[in-house]
Structure 1
Amino acid sequence: MDLLDRQIAHALRLDGRASFSRIAAVLGVSDQTVARRYRALRQAGTVKVVGGLSAGRIGLTTWVIRLQCAPGSSAAIARALAKRADTSWVRIASGGTEVLCSILTPDDDREALLLERLPATKPIIAISTYCVVHTFTGNEDGWQPVATALNAEQIAALAPDPPANPPADPPADPRPESAIALDPADRILAAELARDGRTPFTELAAATGLDESSVRRRLAALQADGTLYFDLDVDSRAFGYGFSALLWLSVEPARLSAVGQALAGFAEVAFAGATTGPTDVLASVVTTSGAAFYLFLTEAIGALPGVREIQSAPVLRTVKRAGA
């Protein structure tokens, strides 16, 4: 990726649905150039805008499942999990002996989930489950290294406009009791945007059966109350980060919030959340190399007060991720 590609990616991280003409005017290039560059990045799987729903706002709980597999079985298990509609990402780690995935389940129907619906096959040796109870960084926040190509003036020019009619009293925290109910048109809208966050309003209107002005209003309302967000799905390797790993941290309870906030400040941390289970924090980390990962682990995370134990699993392959 050259500087212009990185600038376009940064612009789309600020506003995933910003028009190509608006981006082009700020970057000093033509609309056609921006459109052509984005299409090429999207086709290569390097950068893609996707729409996502805040799990807590719609009454869903995020679980991370860790499967220990017999040698040679991980690829088939990962493919089976990737086909499921309730998995948001699936990865093969630890040299092919582990499959990890994220699953969303309704808060009021937890017993219908998890182990009963996972593949009951002999190659699965052990299963660990972690409920994500708080997110420190990730999803709506975006990955920090993407946001390094624009200057302050360009960022101000490309920042999304505030909602015209913000909600009078947005919920303070997305607990299940404050979850909203999506109507059928909302669900279709969300599904279309999950496939492509830049789907034109005309196509969204055709898919939902609503007129274009109604789609615009509904999308703006869902964004304003925090139900819908736009994320920039990126291949970190294109940004020079070729090593990826998942970390499980055991943390002193009194230090949990401070550790999570510190993790959120590291550019190498793409996601960090507090979880239930045998460990307290799950983090997704990307670095330029294995050597850089070692330094980050020992000098950054190892220096955090309250961290008692660290487990790591290098990611061998990503079978499914947002928008891919």
Structure 2
Amino acid sequence: MLDDIDRALIHALQIDARAPFSRIGAVLSVSTQTVARRYQRLRAESGLRVVGLPDPDRTGLTQWLVRLSAQPAAARTLARSLARRPDTSWVKLTSGGTEIVTIAHTPRHAQSAMLLHDIPRAASVTAVSAHFILHTYLGGPTAWRGRVAALTEEQQEALRPTESVGEESPLTAADHALIAALRRDGRASIADLAAAAGLAPATAARRLADLRARGALFFDVEISAALYGVTTQAFLWMAVAPADLDEVATTLATHEELAVVVATTGPTNLAAQALCPDPAALHHYLTHRLGALRAIHTVHTAPVLEIVKAVGPLTA
């Protein structure tokens, strides 16, 4: 389990993923060396990873929440194959290991090779449903509340980057190269980012600042929810009347049990991911908190058995 300094460091990285260790140390009242040592230990022993991600709305991407049913003997192999693709994130095995849930990212004006060609060719796939993500109420730049409860408001304010407004303009090849490098390591040095994008260091720093200022780039922190005492995860597929959808989704986005809430197309038009300490807590959440929202007509619960890929690309 994580101690108070670990939790505070992770919270700090969620606020400003590229903050210098010296600034984080000053806010946490520990030395720079302590912050650096904790960061390296969490990376080596707990899978901590800072990842830079493109904002879909500002970078011309569409997102599909894809559910695949597969033969039990082939599901894990298929999930790993999907995880190796650059156009997927959050590849998870659910429902007893016979279902795979993933997010597919597609350029807005291009066909999805994965949805139209690649998946249908997999003989082990028995069913596919793709749900277009219409709106994100919780998730993306907004972190799960369980991960951002360690710092005081004063500490958070001291770490929060200075807000600025960047000019809207199409992403260049160098911008895409910067984002690709940051997906591999969100704390990569300016020198490494410049080399990856073929830019001078000063230009790379300026382009990075501009991407952040206009919201085209945000950062997330990958670390196992089990380190926060979570033993039970589940996808919740809900059907809500369109007139009630926004109100219900906005309410769900305030629930500390949920890490993701998105409106989608399909017969179930609201999807969420629940993180709970144990099955009893999930049952209590479903029967008491969700059960109190009468506008939710149906809920299908799919327990998560294994996370094959999170938001960043696979490193091996």
Q: TM-score, structure 1 length as denominator?
A: 0.92
Give how far 1:145 is off.
0.9
* 1:9 aligned residue: 10
User: What are the residue-to-residue correspondences of 1:132-147 with 2, within 5 Å?
Assistant: 132-147=133-148
* 2:269 aligned residue: 280
Q: Secondary structure at the match of 1:62?
A: strand
Give how far 1:26 is off.
1.4
* 1:218 aligned residue: 207
**Alpha-carbon distance in 2 for matches of 1:254, 1:157:** 41
Runs (4 or more) in structure 1 with deviation over 4 Å come to none
**Alpha-carbon distance in 1 for matches of 2:140, 2:231:** 20
* 2:281 aligned residue: 292
**Alpha-carbon distance in 1 for matches of 2:47, 2:286:** 27
Give how far 1:122 is off.
2.8
| 1:231 maps to 2:220 | yes
* 1:167 aligned residue: 166
1:157 aligned partner, one-letter code: A
**Alpha-carbon distance in 2 for matches of 1:46, 1:83:** 18
* 1:88 aligned residue: 89
1:275 aligned partner, one-letter code: T
Q: Secondary structure at the match of 2:128?
A: strand
Task: Please list the CA deviations of residues 26-60 of structure 1 after superposition, one character each: whole Å capped at 9, or x if unmatched.
Answer: 11111111011011112234432110001121211
Q: Are 1:255 and 1:305, in contact at CA under 8 Å, matched by a contact in 2?
A: no
1:255 aligned partner, one-letter code: D
| 1:120 maps to 2:109 | no
* 2:239 aligned residue: 250
**Alpha-carbon distance in 2 for matches of 1:304, 1:196:** 40
Give how far 1:310 is off.
0.2
1:19 aligned partner, one-letter code: P
Q: Are 2:263 and 2:270, in contact at CA under 8 Å, matched by a contact in 1?
A: yes
**Alpha-carbon distance in 1 for matches of 2:68, 2:105:** 17
Alignment RMSD: 1.5
- How many residues were matched structurally? 312
Task: Please list the CA deviations of residues 184-228 of structure 1 after superposition, one character each: whole Å capped at 9, or x if unmatched.
Answer: 111110011001111111111122121222111111111111110
**Alpha-carbon distance in 1 for matches of 2:116, 2:288:** 37
**Alpha-carbon distance in 2 for matches of 1:75, 1:301:** 31
Q: Are 2:144 and 2:256, in contact at CA under 8 Å, matched by a contact in 1?
A: yes
Give how far 1:274 is off.
0.5
* 1:173 aligned residue: none
Give how far 1:70 is off.
1.4
Identity level (%): 42
| 1:50 maps to 2:51 | yes
**Alpha-carbon distance in 1 for matches of 2:241, 2:220:** 32
Once the two structures are overlaid, the 10-residue window that deviates more, 197-206 or 113-122, is 113-122
Runs (5+) with no aligned partner, structure 2:
none
Q: Are 2:166 and 2:211, in contact at CA under 8 Å, matched by a contact in 1?
A: no
Runs (5+) with no aligned partner, structure 1:
171-179
**Alpha-carbon distance in 1 for matches of 2:111, 2:143:** 28
Q: TM-score, structure 2 length as denominator?
A: 0.95
